[in-house]
A and B are shown apart, each in its own frame.
Chain A
Amino acid sequence: MPKHRRSEIEPSRVSVRTPANRTEFWPEAVGYGQAAGAFGPPGVHGGFGHQGNGYRGPAGYTDDAAEPGWQIAPEGQSWQDWEHWQDWGPPPELHPDHPSAPVPRVQFATDHPSGPMPASRTSGPPGVPRWWPDEPARTRNAPPPSPDAGHDNGNRWLYAVPDDASYPDHAAPREVSLSQEQRGFRWQETTDYRRGGNPPGLDRGPAPGRFQDGAPPSRDSLWTAGQVLTLAESRAAQIAQQAQDYAAEIREAAQREAAAITQQATGHAATTREAAERQAAEIREAAEREAGELRARLDSMTGELGRVAAYVAENLAAPPMPATAPALPGAALAPPGTRPARPATTPTKPDTGPAKPITKPTKPDTGPARPAKPGTTATKKPQKPGRQQQAMRIAQYSTAALVSFALVFGAAEIGIHGLKFFVFREQGQGQSTDGPTDQQFLARQAAATHHAAAPKGRHHKQSDHLEVHH
């Protein structure tokens, strides 16, 4: 799991750092009986690189000169064959959390706030791993607060505890050497498996020592192992530093390259923008020029048309038409846009509309260069009736024809039968409940007319007087 994904809420460093069992406390090859097999005085360290002889050294680790004072173990000789190992004392105490460790598994100091444990550890050498009351609680990933708080080798935490009670300051880092080990330092080591280690550069250098009194000299092997781990850490830190340097170089080169590309792109964009602006300006100028020409031409045509219309109107209004039409005042053209002079008399409407220009002005290609509306109204084009108006006219004429048809027929009936019959209403029609019918009315009317027109016997010829009976 990446380091940054860890939960912030984690068990305290104490519980985490405390090894779960003895195998954590001691590496596999450093068991109970073989605990210090790989550690010890000069010669023990030579187990590196030999199969089955304690700690395995890195490949190619044969040069004893790399670490003076150490000699390589003879081939085929185990570390148990050495005589010194039996002088190393009893095997190290089990870690309190080890399943086989005696209860209680955690031993508090006497001055611990929790007080002494009810049952003290009875077996094992002094200097068993204990809880350090002065150690602050830390998170899992936090580096040690002080150099003496422990050394992180990537997998576990090593504490060097000075045996000397008069050790003044536990926080002071201290270079632990072999001579110190021989002076009777005792080691206490707690391991802490970590899924991710601190940056290598944080805990560079030898592990700070913290000693407790009463440690046998045989525990120096642990110190040696710590030294080995410290050296490995140093190497790892060096490699990490090299990698960091290399990464920094690559990053700088990439940044330089990116800056160059950015600069180049910026320059290119500026060049392109300038070219585009220049081109746009040229197009705009050309369009404006063309529009101006078209506008001037249109204005001149408009003015000319206005003058022609005024001339025609004036001549039509004049009573005698001259035999020869005067030439158009082409030489004295008024400036375009001026309104033609209105004739004194109202001109009669010519049969034909004002002359249209022969060539229509070409529409400019560019949009904004729209020709301005001419200021003169003399050349107003007579509007052709639209289709809707035409349809309306048809409807109007049809309606008028229909109504006229009815009116003509009505007038004819009035002419034939007279107004009396026109306003007459026969019986049964509307409010007329009684009275003559149309036929009776017409018969009476005809009879009356006939009676009025009939001759009066022999005296008819004697007199021109016509008696009319109503």
Chain B
Amino acid sequence: MTTTRGYDRDFYPRDSPDTWPGKQQPADDYKPPADGYGYQPRRSKRVDEWMEVEFKFGGSRIKRKALALVLLGGPAVVPLFFCLPALFTLDYNTFSVAVDDVLGTGAELCLFFCLLVTPMVTLTGQRWFVPLRRWYGIMMACCGIGDAIAAGATDTFSGGFFAKLTEHTFTLVGLIMVMLVIPLLVTGNNWAQRKLGRYWKVLHRLIYVIWGLLAIHLLTLFGFQPDVQVGGAGDGDIAFHQRFYQYSACSIFLLTLRLPPVKRWIAARQKEGRNWLVFLTIAPIFALFVFGMTFLINEEIFKGLDMFNNTPSAE
């Protein structure tokens, strides 16, 4: 008779130590299933099930997951929200000065949040927040396109609309990124998923191209001299006001957890029930990620509030 007695906490009954091929197969060679997420601990599955439970909200019943997704996805609209006063008042000056920072940084944040979903699934095993990946991707595209439109329309560059977008290195790279994000935005729905089938994922791997182009964009725009304070006198922490370093700090974590050997190692440790070892190992680069994101968010909030108040900051 099947019994759960004697099993470890995070094991499914079928994944008991007796049935797991870890004795014959080293854990480092463990290959996660084809879904790309690897092993899901039972505790994480319980969280997913808890998120699927409905509760009464305003006379209707909604899932806990829906509320959590709304709360977690809400910040994605903040960059666009900051632009609304300048848009409604057609404040050319505000757009010209601050829209690049607000929408550009917003798009970068959305891109990092979009890219953060998969590593978090790998780490926690929970999958209830996977829909955030699409949402943040869409918002990243919207912010990027908005940034491009604003730059082409209001920047002080010479030439016309497309000339402003293509006459410099960073603008051309930005335009290419926007051009690449357009097909992703168009196909970021279920209809396109059905139409493209297995090619949908191939097409949406363009996000990694955009991720790489962002590095070039930031490098050409801000450079990589850590001794030069961006935007004048600041808090003295010059390096992390450099966008490229912010980008690098965030990307190390996102990139590391996407490497197949790392994913296999994490899945093996989780299967062994040593999730603490995974967290301990990942903690430094995760802290680096949080540190970089803090500067980015700080930049977004202060520049955004300035833009929202129609007092744009040129720092």
- Interface on A for B, CB 8 Å cutoff? 387-389, 391-392, 395-396, 398-399, 402-403, 405-407, 409-410, 412-413, 417, 421-426, 428-431, 433, 437-439, 442
Contact = CB atoms under 8 A, between A and B. Distances in A.
A399 B203 CA distance: 10
Interface in B203-249: 203, 206, 220-223, 225, 228, 230-232, 242
Q: Which 6 pairs from chain A and chain B are nearest by CB? A: A392-B199, A388-B197, A402-B179, A430-B221, A409-B166, A410-B172
Contacts of B162: 409
Contact of B176 (A407, A426, A442): A407
Nearest to A392: B199
B158 A430 contact: no
B282 to A, nearest CB: 32
Given A388-B195, A391-B196, A431-B230, A399 B202 contact: no
A387 B192 CA distance: 12
A413 B175 contact: no
B203 A392 contact: yes
Contact of B223 (A395, A398, A405, A430): A430
A395 B166 contact: no
Contacts of B228: 431
Given A402-B180, A426-B157, A413 B163 contact: yes
B230 A430 contact: yes
Contacts of B223: 430-431
A398 B182 CA distance: 9
Given A406-B172, A421-B167, A425-B168, A389 B199 contact: yes
Interface of B: 156-159, 162-163, 165-170, 172, 175-176, 179-180, 182-183, 187, 192, 195-199, 202-203, 206, 220-223, 225, 228, 230-232, 242, 314
A395 B203 contact: yes
A399 B221 contact: no
Which applies to chain B's interface (DSSP): helix, strand, loop or mixed? helix
B168 A428 contact: no
Given A395-B187, A410-B167, 17 more contacts: A391-B195, A392-B199, A395-B199, A398-B182, A399-B203, A402-B179, A402-B182, A409-B165, A412-B166, A413-B159, A413-B167, A423-B220, A425-B220, A430-B221, A430-B223, A431-B230, A438-B158
A384 B121 CA distance: 38
Nearest to B176: A406
Given A425-B221, A439-B158, A406 B166 contact: yes
Looking at B159, B199, B232, the one whose CB has the most chain A CB atoms below 10 A away is B199
A406 B175 contact: yes
Given A388-B197, A388-B199, A395-B196, A417 B179 contact: no
Contacts of B165: 406, 409
B290 to A, nearest CB: 25
Contacts of A391: 192, 195-197, 199
B167 A431 contact: no
Contacts of B158: 438-439, 442
Given A392-B196, A431-B222, A423 B168 contact: yes
B296 to A, nearest CB: 16
Contact of B170 (A398, A403, A430, A442): A430
A135 B38 CA distance: 89
B180 A388 contact: no
26 contacts: A387-B195, A391-B195, A392-B199, A395-B196, A398-B182, A399-B180, A402-B182, A402-B183, A406-B165, A406-B172, A406-B175, A406-B176, A409-B175, A410-B166, A410-B175, A412-B166, A413-B172, A421-B168, A422-B167, A423-B220, A424-B168, A425-B170, A426-B156, A430-B220, A431-B222, A431-B225
B230 A395 contact: no
Nearest to A404: B179
Contacts of A417: 167
A413 B166 contact: yes
Given A403-B176, A413-B167, A430 B222 contact: yes
A232 to B, nearest CB: 68
Given A425-B170, A425-B221, A431-B225, A398 B203 contact: no
A438 B159 CA distance: 10
Contacts of A428: 314
Contacts of A439: 156, 158
Contacts of B232: 433
A399 B207 CA distance: 12
Contacts of A407: 172, 176
A407 B176 CA distance: 8
A410 B172 CA distance: 6
A308 to B, nearest CB: 35
Given A392-B203, A410-B166, A438 B156 contact: yes
Given A395-B196, A406-B172, A429 B221 contact: yes
Nearest to B195: A391
Contacts of B199: 388-389, 391-392, 395
A405 B196 contact: no
Nearest to B157: A438
Nearest to A421: B167
Contacts of B198: 388
Contacts of B176: 403, 406-407
A215 to B, nearest CB: 78
A422 B169 contact: yes
A28 B65 CA distance: 93
Nearest to B218: A430
Contacts of B166: 406, 409-410, 412-413
Contacts of A395: 183, 187, 196, 199, 203
A202 to B, nearest CB: 56
A406 B179 contact: yes
Contacts of B163: 409, 413
A402 B196 CA distance: 19
Contacts of B183: 395, 398-399, 402
Nearest to A397: B183
